[in-house]
Structure 1
Amino acid sequence: MSKQVRPTVHDLLAMKGKRQLSMLRVVALEEAEAAEAAGIDLISVPPELLFDPQFRDAAPGRFAIPGGEYGQSGATTDEILRCAVKMRAASADAIYCAASLQTIRRLRDEHIPVCGHTGLIPSHSTWTGGFRAVGKTAASAAFVYKQVKDLEAAGAFSVEIEVVPAEVAAAISERTSMLLISMGAGSGCDAQYLFSEDVLGLNRGRYPRHAKVYRNLAAEYDRIQVERIAAFREYAADIASGAYPEERHRVPVDAEELERFLSRL
């Protein structure tokens, strides 16, 4: 099967209103490779995965947006720009940024595609009442809309809209040229975004309302861990009993050569 050509920002914006895009947060090469094989449109990745030299071999056709774990909280605009340039050089297609509008304008001035964030922004949640839905009142919905339009004016090409009522998100999506990426904000946006750990059933805590579990890999990992412990115990027992190593595990040596060596000792 031929590899898909990775879409550009221009390509993605041309899809707005035509079909829903799929997006996953992936954290390992195996997950990136699976996203490639499954035809997931966009992937969010930790910067360390992006910098792995095997990353683009695993996901050559995925539009990759590194997340905000590179020191945005408290970082200066210059520091964020420096990190963004490095990530673009490492094949990032865009940069996630929840920093100030000034910072987003600076990135845009350097022609770096930016994905902003609105609604429930974990790092800003103290301003919106904690980890809860945003936009359930007319005033808070207007606040979300203003954030979106400010991001648009600052030059962002997309924005993740998180845990906002579907009707509010749909109305906002109709009124912006940016791609709206829904995380728990309904199907009236341009893309749907989930974390692979939720999709794969690896989240052992409380699942968010918008999550949908498609597999139970946690149970499989539990089974593998049981087998891992059993194998380690058998190995330790073999060492204690002398069952390991056996003759077949040893390097042979010619008897005469061994005798010469021993005589030298």
Structure 2
Amino acid sequence: MSRQRPTIADLRAIKGKKQLTMLRVMTLEEAEAAERAGIDIVSIPPDLLLDPQYRDAAPSLFSMPGENFFEIGTADDFVRWAFRMLKASADAVYCSASVATIKRMADESVPVIGHVGLIPSRRTWTGGWKAVGKTAESAVEILQAVRQLEAAGAFGAEIEVVPVEVAEAISQRTSLFMLSMGAGTGCDAQYLFAEDILGTNRGHMPRHSKVYRNFAAEYDRLQQERVAAFSEFVADVNTKAYPEDKHIVRMAPEELKKFQAQLDAN
């Protein structure tokens, strides 16, 4: 029996009762794998959602496209973008822009996921790539940010690299559906990037990431095989081992004689 794609009402109804799974996927293949594996929620590039094959590959995934705010523009630009995403079957949209921009979309009944804690596009304000909310004062600031998102009409929020005690306390005190990225099990969903799970990330591995496969090594092996195959092709051409008769088409002998006669006449 196929799964039904959850609605906003469904997610609100299970808040605090169970944890869902969430991935950032970048390709159609990853989306299909997430669907088949039983992942609940995915964050995806907008272009992937607009792929006509997307919903065939991922019919039951609660799908949330997102871009950094500087890629989209003003609040009005966000509203137009959000409408386009919803028309293309988005279940919610991610927005790291201002609370005013989030409110502008929420006022149009767009389900919006905000962001608190470590926000990559704003990391200079919180000291770079590091945990946020480790002091009582900064933890209260995160709670206040969540309250602002609530007041703006957001549906949920990603809470990234925040102490587990802080994230759990906030999740228990908010109606927002809280997506934990490195913020512990006290939230409503556990969120990882597919590239970390698959081991394709060759850069820094965040503390919260967990590697389940080593795709990077497999990609290296496949690249070596590409080079080897191309090299063999070069050698075959140079030694005239390619093409063989099975790779080419020959003319019937009687037609060849007629053709040669025409060549001589011309």
Per the normalisation by structure 1, the TM-score is 0.96
Measured in 2, the distance between the counterparts of 1:25 and 1:17 equals 22
Give runs of aligned pairs for residues 48-127 of structure 1, distance below 5 A.
Answer: 48-69=47-68, 72-73=70-71, 75-127=73-125
2:3 counterpart SS class? coil
Answer whether contact 1:72 1:97 (CA < 8 A) is retained: no
What is the identity, as a one-letter code, of the residue corresponding to 1:140? S
For residues 90-131 of structure 1, give each alpha carbon's deviation from its aligned partner in whole angstroms, at most 9, with x where no partner exists: 111110001111111111111110000000000011111111
Backbone CA RMSD of aligned residues: 1.3
Partners of 2:257 and 2:12 in 1: CA distance: 78
Q: Tell me what 1:191 maps to.
A: 189
Q: Secondary structure at the match of 2:158?
A: strand
Deviations 1:165-208 (A, max 9, x none): 00000000011011110001011011000000101111112210
Output the amino acid matched with 2:245.
E
Aligned residues: 263
Q: Is the Cα contact below 8 Å between 1:163 and 1:184 reproduced in 2?
A: yes
Query: How far 1:73 moved relative to its partner?
Result: 4.8
Structure 2: distance between partners of 1:54 and 1:33: 10
**2:89 counterpart SS class:** coil
Residue by residue, what CA displacement relative to the aligned partner does 1:18-68 show, whole Å, maximum 9, x if unpaired? 111100001111110110001000001111111111111111100000121
Matched with 2:171 is 173
Shift of 1:217: 1.3
Instruction: Give me the whole-angstrom Cα distance separating, in 2, the residues matched to 1:259 and 1:227.
Output: 45
1:74 is displaced (CA, Å) by: 6.8
Unaligned residue ranges in structure 2 (runs of 5+): none
Who is 2:9 aligned against? 10
Equivalence for 1:235: 233
Residue 253 of structure 1: how far off its partner (Å):
2.4
1:253 paired residue among 239, 251, 254: 251
Task: Supply the distance in 2 between the matched residues of 1:201 and 1:178 (Cα, whole angstroms).
Answer: 31
Give the conservation status (yes or no) of the 8 Å contact 2:72–2:78.
Answer: no
Letter paired with 1:192: Q
Question: In the aligned structure 2, how far is the partner of 1:263 from the partner of 1:90?
Answer: 63
Distance 1:262 1:109 in 2: 79
Q: Is the 8 A contact 1:21 1:41 kept in 2?
A: yes
Equivalent residue of 2:36, what SS? helix
* Aligned 1:143-182 pairs, distance under 5 A: 143-182=141-180
- For the pair shown, the structure with the greater C-alpha radius of gyration is 2
Alignment-derived partner of residue 41 in structure 1: 40
Whole-Å Cα distance in 2 between the matches of residues 261 and 3 of structure 1?
A: 63
In the alignment, is residue 221 of structure 1 matched against residue 214 of structure 2? no
Q: Percent identity?
A: 61
Q: Is the 8 A contact 1:134 1:163 kept in 2?
A: yes
1:264, CA displacement in angstroms?
A: 3.7
1:86 positional shift: 1.0
Q: 1:58 to 1:256 in 2, by over 3 A?
A: same
